[in-house]
Amino acid sequence: MDYSSSLGPIDPQVYNGKNWVPALGYLDKVEELIEKSANNQLTEAEFMILQKIDLAELRSFEMARNLTIALLKDWLVNYKFKDWNTHKSNEQPVTKEEKEKRAEDIANKLSNNSI
């Protein structure tokens, strides 16, 4: 990335056999259906959709999401934050743990479709 680059939402694209699709969309929808089921609000049509989901494919979507987050965290700590040595508010040194925590917060927000 260069000086004019910017980070935006992250959503790994996975191949579903026909098209490249956003993995987080699948994960979000399954989570929504599971929540509806837990609240006894799942319709028959939604139940049928849930039954047809391939669990191995769903797991691969989770792995793609986790890899994307891990790569972003690593990139932020090692490159974006490489010159972040002191806090502006109090001039205290920035620890590696603080950089990692901030990178994790950013990665979680960029991978949250509801934000």
Count of domains for the chain: 1
User: Are 9 and 113 in contact, with CB atoms under 8 Å apart?
Assistant: yes
Domain that holds residue 64: 13-110
Position 1 pLDDT exceeds 90: no
Q: Is residue 54 part of a domain?
A: yes
Bigger pLDDT: 16 or 43? 43
Residue 64 in contact with residue 14, Cβ under 8 Å?
A: yes
pTM: 0.81
Per the rule left: phi > 0, alpha: psi between -120 and 50, beta: everything else, 87 is beta
Kindly state whether residue 115 falls inside one of the protein's structural domains: no
Query: Is the residue at 95 inside a domain?
Result: yes
Longest CA span, the chain: 59
**Within a domain: residue 48?**
yes
Each residue's pLDDT tens digit, 58-106: 999 999 999 999 999 999 999 999 999 999 999 999 999 999 999 999 9
Per-residue pLDDT, 69? 93
In a domain, 5, yes or no: no
pLDDT at residue 15 in the model: 87
For residue 78, is it within any domain? yes
Local confidence band at 30 (pLDDT 50, 70, 90 cut-offs) = very high
